[in-house]
Structure 1
Amino acid sequence: MRIESLISLSVALLISASTSAYAQNSRANPATDFALINGQIHTMDEAGTVAEAIAIEGDEIVYVGDAAGLGNVIGLGTEVIDLEGKMVLPGFVEGHMHPTAGALIMRGVDLQVDSIGGILERVRTYAEENPDLPIIHGYGVRLHLWEDGYGTKEMLDEIDSERPIYLWGVDGHQAWVNSRALEIAGIDENTPETVPGFSYFRRNEDGTPAGWIVEIPAQLQVLSKLIDLNLEYTEAGVREWLPRFAAAGITTAHDYGIQGLGMEEGFQMMTDLAEAGDLPIRVQGNFYWNDPDIDPIPLVESMREQFNAEHVSARGLKINMDGGDDAYSALYTEPYSDNPDADPAPIIPYDILNETVLRADAAGINVVCHCFGDAAVRAVLDAIEMAIEQNPRRDRRNVISHALLVHPDDIARFAELGVTWDSTGAWMSRDPSLASISVSRLGEERIQRYGPMKAIAEAGGNVSLGSDWPAAGYISEYRPLVAIRTAIMRQLPGRDEVPPLGGEEARVSVDLAIRANTINAAYGMGRDHEVGSLEVGKKADLVVLSENLYDIDPSTIHEVDVLYTMMGGKLTYDSAAD
């Protein structure tokens, strides 16, 4: 299906000028650019309106309703798109992504396989096929493959000891390197830990680095010595991935932190892409804060003033509270099942968290948070509650992301405090990583409460889907249709024989899953007045799908094709052009 036929005068005259009762039409303009007709247009508005036609002028929706009402808004210059009964949704809004960091990480060879031998074979083949590369780069090493210990530098030295090897873990928060990489970076037994207790080098008994790096500060300490993490390097990766986002139907992304480049430099790069017409998604970013010695409020305020355009903006404060369960760095209200003595500290001490959230809220700054464990979730909810009690009333759009485990006592607090719960559907399954690492760390009872999307929604909370791409527990996945499918089924595609995580009662409706990746995610960003639903006056962001998600077996939703994507009234992806 191509969008290339111009409407003829005879066809225009056949369209009635009458407007149906349910049509939304605030203006009559014969210069409308596009009219989409004969579709199943699920607007995702509050009433759940399903229309058959939509008209677009410039970057704005000017009509939503039935075909008869189009007579008031189209003319000879209008391009008419016959949807042939296809489904239209608002462009997907990603509630949590890292477009720039992903472009840094997702380089080289894809290592998302389920065996250590398979990883080593892929690295070996890649190294042999690319003898002139100065660095052997890969991504997606799955963490559940090691029952005891981690990959060592010696394992990679056998593949190549002359060139550095740098392999990103699938979570984006760990890396596996060879001896040459450590040597070039100057890391040895005398090197102090980058951020003690949080970001460090796993070591042998004699103190020498073993070849495994934990968390981004230490990872970048090494990687920055191996390659020039400059603007050109990052932009090349961003340009490679942006078309893939558009092809997946994504039109807006909530960037939870720019890494690799300086944050100002990263926002400026995205701004330059937008001004050149090369940015097919709207990007709303945050100041990335994981250092309690830095006061982030003045920095957020400065960035908000500097980057405040429609397509690229810096608006909030991203707080890193804890790590993950694999490294015993997630914060839980109850001890780890397999290591009760583990006592991780919050990345941001609680007193500093409370004081900073209070000041941020007073300045009108919303916070988003990486909160993996239920104790981290509770701490941020407490801080937000304190800010609500002490500061004047305002339109708050705070978000707690991941929140894979939420204490039952805190489920209702999301609605009570107006906090959006954001997570990725692609993690809401009993994948091999969760079935090995997380079950061991937390025990079966807590695992069955993992990803409480349905419970929070039923308690009145706003639930949002965000991929956290490129980070993952098992599979790095940016496509909303995969997240929507997995959130509904609580099973990953291809693993339907595995019982649904939390049982069938944890499954959510198709409608809730779609809303979580459209209007609900837009609400969490504070952009629901602009995007997330197809309504008059909103931006013309939409995606056309080959099947109606409401009418098919939900287990096949990930197989549905994105036919084309439009952002701001401009076509950003057309499947027929591939």
Structure 2
Amino acid sequence: MSRISADFAVLGATVHTLDPGRPAASALAVRDGVLIAVGDDAEVRQACDARTEVIDGTGTTLTPGLTDGHMHPVHGALMARGLDLSVCRDTDALRAALAEARRTAEPGAWIRGFGLDPNILGGRRPHRDLIDDVLDGAPALLTLFDGHAALASGRALELAGVTGPVALAGNAEIVCDADGVPTGELLEDPAKECVERAAPSLAPEEVAAELAALTARMNACGLTAGHAMDLSDGSLPALRLLEERDRLTLRLRCAPWAQPGVDADGLAEIVRLQGTGGRLWQVAGVKLFMDGTIDNGTAWLHHPDCHGESTKPFWLPPEEYAAAVDTLARAGVPTATHAIGDAAVGYALDCLAPHSSPDSRASRHRIEHIETAPDELIARFAACGVVASMQPSHVQYTRADHSDNWSTRLGTERASRAWRCADLLHAGAPLVLGSDWPIAHFDPREVLATARLRRLPGHGDRDPVAPDQALTAREALEAMTVTAALVAGEQDRAGRVREGFRADLTAFAADPLAVPPGELAETPVTLTVVDGRIVHRA
């Protein structure tokens, strides 16, 4: 047992170490960002002296710090501004919310909204004629819940100079009617950016302030780290400002995007950025997109959806994706590929398998989302060691009876293969869980609970979606701790409560492995520790 004086110690708690060598403990001690003692109270007291802050852990349960395996902190902070449209349950509510925003807005101000659910449109495609009259000439840009589409008002299109079809990379599209007039529906980021660039942008100081406030809220929910699946404009200046001011309280691994059409110089820049960072943040990896989303008809399926859509990849031809992956992998850059449709997942696996191994100790290649997958794809993940990165909270956008837009597009057979978390894990695939915030709420307690319930907690009136894919409490917890460290190549220093490991910790007011899943989302987080620093204390 170390005799070094601890900065602080927690005694009298329940500690789920997730360490096979010592699964349980009652106390731990921290110094200089590292766990220097883990054991019973008597053992840990040996690491304490008069300068040590001793915290009474009676009634609390500590776990390794929770990591969100897929989130968009900066991109999300910028996107999730304005009206939260997820509360709108029909078009009347949407129009009322926009009318009120227009009434109170400054002249010429843009009206922003996020979380718009296409299920409220009654089977219609998003169209500016739903909103233009209540906006009375105000520019508006409303992001749909999946983040892959938006609805722009007529005035916003006018300010952006978008008057007809535009040739865009991949399957991005400015949707136009039969006369070539834009409907306001914008599919995928290249289309959204055509309008976004006309809207006012935030200065780095403002982005940093948004991010600082966001990470504080995340800490209060128990998050200690996140795999950030973007490095958008403004990210680097904002992160550097927070680091300088010691206001960054979340450990972040950032993956810049490689979009279709990226050339050799663009790939070289992504390679050059690797390792850029500070004490709590680092550029580590790259994010690619093999397809879009099922709800918007931009996924890549082996067979078209009910509208004849979702028939092609984001990269055209897909061999350009394969070449980009090969270049990045050979440079040692771990890739994360957005792949939702079965064809997209299969193609990504084909490309990643030669660069992957189930025994790898380095950062792993990974596939994000995997919303529908046939049996033959499940075993392939384990065989090649590619990580399955999934977001159980996304089941909130579908229904067990397949009456929703996602299920209707896929049909019953493919919809029944929804988010096969348990099948992937039990087949031997590494499984990491996240929220995809701002697409779903960042609260990790909600992610853990939904992984067990297969519906959002607090919605007992909803039937679970594919309940056979539910995880156990321990499986879900390990997917946000142990496996999150494994996929980052940090399994020798993070993800468990073990002496010599990083002091990233989450403490609950009740045992997350014992509390019923419906209550877990409401269980208070009493302490959050990042790099040995207490960043939240209830």
**TM-score, normalisation: structure 2:** 0.94
Structure 1 residues 216 and 39, CA, compared in 2 at 3 Å: closer, same or farther?
same
Q: Does 1:550 align with 2:513?
A: yes
Q: Out of 397, 400, 415, which is 2:364 matched to?
A: 397
Q: Out of 564, 573, 577, which is 2:527 matched to?
A: 564
Do the aligned partners of 2:378 and 2:423 also contact (CA within 8 Å) in 1?
yes
Q: Deviations over 1:30-56 (max 9, x none)?
A: x21101011111112245712100000
Aligned to 1:107: 81
Q: Out of 114, 137, 158, which is 2:133 matched to?
A: 158
Q: Find the aligned partners of 1:59 and 1:258 in 2 and give their Cα distance.
A: 26
Do the aligned partners of 1:287 and 1:299 also contact (CA within 8 Å) in 2?
no
Q: Does 1:357 align with 2:325?
A: yes
1:98, distance to aligned residue in structure 2 (A): 0.7
Q: Find the aligned partners of 2:397 and 2:285 in 1 and give their Cα distance.
A: 33
Aligned to 1:426: 393
Q: Which moved more, 1:266-275 or 1:531-540?
A: 266-275
Q: Which moved more, 1:118-127 or 1:483-492?
A: 118-127
Q: Find the aligned partners of 1:424 and 1:151 in 2 and give their Cα distance.
A: 25
Aligned to 1:251: 224
Q: Does 1:522 align with 2:485?
A: yes
Task: Give the counterpart letter for 2:189 in structure 1.
Answer: I
1:202, distance to aligned residue in structure 2 (A): 1.8
Aligned to 2:461: 497
Aligned to 2:182: 209
> After superposition, where does 1:139-150 map in structure 2 within 5 Å?
139-150=114-125
Do the aligned partners of 2:34 and 2:532 also contact (CA within 8 Å) in 1?
yes
Structure 1 residues 48 and 339, CA, compared in 2 at 3 Å: closer, same or farther?
farther
Aligned to 1:533: 496
Do the aligned partners of 1:256 and 1:285 also contact (CA within 8 Å) in 2?
yes
Report SS of the residue matched to 2:95: helix
Q: Find the aligned partners of 1:463 and 1:111 in 2 and give their Cα distance.
A: 31
Q: Find the aligned partners of 1:549 and 1:150 in 2 and give their Cα distance.
A: 42
Q: Find the aligned partners of 1:394 and 1:547 in 2 and give their Cα distance.
A: 34
Task: Give the counterpart letter for 2:520 in structure 1.
Answer: I
Q: Find the aligned partners of 1:438 and 1:507 in 2 and give their Cα distance.
A: 20
1:388, distance to aligned residue in structure 2 (A): 4.8
Do the aligned partners of 1:430 and 1:501 also contact (CA within 8 Å) in 2?
no
Task: Give the counterpart letter for 2:532 in structure 1.
Answer: G
Aligned to 2:300: 331
**TM-score, normalisation: structure 1:** 0.87
Superposition CA RMSD, Å: 2.2
Do the aligned partners of 1:430 and 1:500 also contact (CA within 8 Å) in 2?
no
Q: Find the aligned partners of 2:507 and 2:203 in 1 and give their Cα distance.
A: 37
Task: Give the counterpart letter for 1:239 in structure 2.
Answer: A
Task: Give the counterpart letter for 1:371 in structure 2.
Answer: A
| Identity in percent | 26
Q: Does 1:231 align with 2:201?
A: no
Unaligned runs of 5+ in 1: 1-24
Larger radius of gyration: 1
Report SS of the residue matched to 1:151: coil
Report SS of the residue matched to 1:139: strand
Task: Give the counterpart letter for 1:248 in structure 2.
Answer: C
Q: Which moved more, 1:393-402 or 1:53-62?
A: 393-402
Q: Find the aligned partners of 1:310 and 1:477 in 2 and give their Cα distance.
A: 26
Report SS of the residue matched to 2:326: helix
Q: Find the aligned partners of 1:181 and 1:341 in 2 and give their Cα distance.
A: 27
Aligned to 1:19: none
Q: Does 1:415 align with 2:382?
A: yes
> After superposition, where does 1:72-87 map in structure 2 within 5 Å?
72-87=46-61
Q: Find the aligned partners of 1:368 and 1:227 in 2 and give their Cα distance.
A: 30
Task: Give the counterpart letter for 1:515 in structure 2.
Answer: E
Q: Out of 446, 452, 455, which is 1:482 matched to?
A: 446
Structure 1 residues 349 and 46, CA, compared in 2 at 3 Å: closer, same or farther?
farther
Q: Does 1:443 align with 2:411?
A: yes
> After superposition, where does 1:378-397 map in structure 2 within 5 Å?
378-388=346-356, 395-397=362-364
Aligned to 1:302: 272
Aligned to 1:18: none
Number of aligned positions between the proteins: 534
1:91, distance to aligned residue in structure 2 (A): 1.5
Q: Does 1:374 align with 2:337?
A: no
Q: Out of 374, 399, 420, which is 1:452 matched to?
A: 420
Do the aligned partners of 2:340 and 2:369 also contact (CA within 8 Å) in 1?
yes
Q: Find the aligned partners of 2:212 and 2:278 in 1 and give their Cα distance.
A: 20
Do the aligned partners of 2:341 and 2:373 also contact (CA within 8 Å) in 1?
yes
Report SS of the residue matched to 1:61: strand
Do the aligned partners of 2:128 and 2:184 also contact (CA within 8 Å) in 1?
yes
1:133, distance to aligned residue in structure 2 (A): 7.1
Q: Out of 148, 163, 166, which is 1:188 matched to?
A: 163
Task: Give the counterpart letter for 2:52 in structure 1.
Answer: T
Do the aligned partners of 1:454 and 1:506 also contact (CA within 8 Å) in 2?
yes
Structure 1 residues 570 and 133, CA, compared in 2 at 3 Å: closer, same or farther?
farther
Q: Find the aligned partners of 2:53 and 2:79 in 1 and give their Cα distance.
A: 40
Q: Find the aligned partners of 2:518 and 2:414 in 1 and give their Cα distance.
A: 26
1:369, distance to aligned residue in structure 2 (A): 0.8
Q: Out of 150, 168, 193, which is 1:220 matched to?
A: 193
Aligned to 1:90: 64
Structure 1 residues 511 and 435, CA, compared in 2 at 3 Å: closer, same or farther?
farther
Do the aligned partners of 1:429 and 1:500 also contact (CA within 8 Å) in 2?
no
Do the aligned partners of 2:398 and 2:405 also contact (CA within 8 Å) in 1?
no
Q: Which moved more, 1:127-136 or 1:218-227?
A: 127-136
Report SS of the residue matched to 2:324: helix
